[in-house]
Amino acid sequence: MLYLTDEEFKYISTYIKDNYGLNLTKKKTLIEGRLGNYVSGLGYQNYMDYFRYAMSDKAADEMVVLINKLTTNHTYFLRENEHFDFYRDTVLPWVDKTLRVRDLYVWSAGCSSGQEPYTLSMITLNYLGANAASWDSTILASDISDKVLAAAKEGLYSKEELSGLPDNWLRRYFVSRGNDKYSISDTLRNNVAFRNFNLLSPFPFKKPFHAILCRNVMIYFDTPVKNAIINKFYDALLPGGYLFIGLSESLSGCSHKFKFIKPSIYQKID
Ligand SMILES: C[S@@+](CC[C@H](N)C(=O)[O-])C[C@H]1O[C@@H](n2cnc3c(N)ncnc32)[C@H](O)[C@@H]1O
């Protein structure tokens, strides 16, 4: 087992917090547990030599490998389902019947391996029904990890991962690939646009979103980082648009202009 010195721990956790928002200042054991074997397997005698190598990689590929190892990508279809009920019953009718526009733009920020954006897509397509073809609906799905984005784009899931979905969704939106594996249909694939994006970067999006889901992502961030991101979400939403955070998360301690709708759901009001 390779142990982190206090100096290495301080340097590495500060660098990762400043550049990727992940607050690992109390996670020394986590870093050792997730990186130890990998770092020594590469032949390094200490973490700092490995970290210098990761920082010197101009393409930042090694830094992405490192971030992938330190973040938790756990997700599943229909996770925190009350959000999807609210999306179906409030957000979609607001866009459809109140705004009377036909271009829906929703962002799954921190999408992991795709279950969240594909769930949004299935609910949207079910809601639009036969009118879907006359809508220009896009679910933007972003994550900092190339590994999960590759899995999301591939869209191949086991029967067990899909077990919570209604049978008619399975028939409509998935294609059996044998060995209890299913891949997403082209309809779903064409509705979701994937992109690697670090939430700490300036937001480049020109078109405002009707809804943003950033669930179970900001648990890694401390209050100043969270505050900055929440305010960027506010600016990126259309007035009346909604922000969803994880059910176990809150915006307490953050200074923002969102209206509180109910725990974990907020609305931009001006
Ligand atoms: C636990 S998953 C959440 C997935 C999904 N939103 C859900 O609730 O099931 C958290 C995701 O946030 C991503 N993430 C962490 N820090 C990030 C950052 N700075 N920018 C973008 N994504 C980040 C991780 O790579 C991971 O895939």
Euclidean distance between CA atoms 3 and 31, whole angstroms: 10
What average pLDDT does the chain have? 94
> For residues 94 and 220, which has the higher predicted lDDT (pLDDT)?
94
Ligand 1 cavity residues, CB under 6 Å: 20-21, 71-75, 79, 110, 112, 116, 143-145, 148, 198-200, 215-217, 220, 246
- pLDDT the model gives residue 150: 94
Q: Which atom of ligand 1 lies at the shortest distance from residue 79's CA? A: 9
Average pLDDT of the segment spanning 103-113: 97
Nearest residue (by CA) to ligand 1, atom 27, is 112
Average pLDDT of the segment spanning 233-249: 97
Euclidean distance between CA atoms 33 and 51, whole angstroms: 16
Average pLDDT of the segment spanning 110-134: 96
- Cα of 116 vs centre of ligand 1, distance in Å, is 11
Euclidean distance between CA atoms 240 and 219, whole angstroms: 25
* Element holding 39 (H helix, E strand): helix 28-41
- pLDDT the model gives residue 42: 96
The predicted-structure confidence for 21-37, as pLDDT tens digits, reads as follows: 888 888 999 999 999 99
- pLDDT the model gives residue 67: 87
- Cα of 179 vs centre of ligand 1, distance in Å, is 29
Q: What percent of the chain has pLDDT over 70?
A: 100
- Cα of 262 vs centre of ligand 1, distance in Å, is 22
Is the pLDDT at 243 greater than 80? The verdict is: yes
What residue spans of 155-222 are helical by DSSP H?
Answer: 167-173, 186-191
What's the whole-model pTM score? 0.91
- Cα of 216 vs centre of ligand 1, distance in Å, is 7
**C-alpha R_g of the chain:** 20
- Cα of 105 vs centre of ligand 1, distance in Å, is 20
- pLDDT the model gives residue 270: 76
Q: Which atom of ligand 1 lies at the shortest distance from residue 115's CA? A: 9
By most ligand atoms within 8 Å of CB, the mutation choice from 144, 192, 199, 244 for ligand 1 is 144
Nearest residue (by CA) to ligand 1, atom 11, is 110
- Cα of 133 vs centre of ligand 1, distance in Å, is 31
Provide the pLDDT confidence category of residue 190 given band limits of 50, 70 and 90.
Answer: very high
2, two tokens: 């390779």
- Cα of 87 vs centre of ligand 1, distance in Å, is 20
By most ligand atoms within 8 Å of CB, the mutation choice from 139, 142, 143 for ligand 1 is 143
Provide the pLDDT confidence category of residue 145 given band limits of 50, 70 and 90.
Answer: confident
Q: What percent of the chain has pLDDT over 90?
A: 85
The predicted-structure confidence for 229-238, as pLDDT tens digits, reads as follows: 999 999 999 9
Is the pLDDT at 220 greater than 80? The verdict is: no
Provide the pLDDT confidence category of residue 198 given band limits of 50, 70 and 90.
Answer: very high
Euclidean distance between CA atoms 208 and 219, whole angstroms: 25
DSSP state of 253: T
